[in-house]
Structure 1
Amino acid sequence: MSQTNTLNVQILDKEYCITCPADERVNLESAARYLDSKMREIRSSGKVIGADRVAVMAALNITHDLLHRQERQDIDNSSTRERVRELLDRVDRALTTDQAGSED
């Protein structure tokens, strides 16, 4: 069982103390850095004012990217499954043809 620790992270010039399992510390730090960079990017565009609005826009952008990647992965997985089915069909046909030819 992993031990729980607290971690201080800086996001958009504000410090947050977050409790997390010790084995997730590196992932949480990485996530906080990523969120901070996205929020800074949005804030620096000058199109969104206010930390709350910047946070919501960052969350929407990150969620959109995640869903888009999952959709692409699902398409890739489906394509891979279809290719495997086609290859198995070819192997089955080849084996069937080979067996029919060897019976003569």
Structure 2
Amino acid sequence: MSKVIKGIKLRLYPNQSQREQLWQMFGNDRFVWNQMLGMAKERYRNNPNSLFVNEYGMNYLLKQLKREYAFLRESDSTSFLVVNHNLAQAFKMLFRHRGG
């Protein structure tokens, strides 16, 4: 039995307003990544024996970040969930010594 994998290529042509929204979202995603990473590093620095904050814990912290930084409310929250998922996966791979 063979698997058939199909793919679709598409190209988007966003207008100026959409481009600005995309750049804002990408910047906010980068900001959330850096904030979550900074919190994890600070937590480890304060107590090396503390447990890693998992993906659900990071998702819970998003509410506080949105209260503290109003500009984060302009982005789609789903993109922040993806950022937290990717960061949690990166930490899992790091702790399993499979990261680069």
TM range (shorter): 0.3 to 0.5
Answer 1 or 2: which has greater helix percent: 1
Task: Give the greater-gyration-radius structure (CA).
Answer: 1
* Larger RCO of the pair (alpha carbons < 8 Å, separation 6+): 2
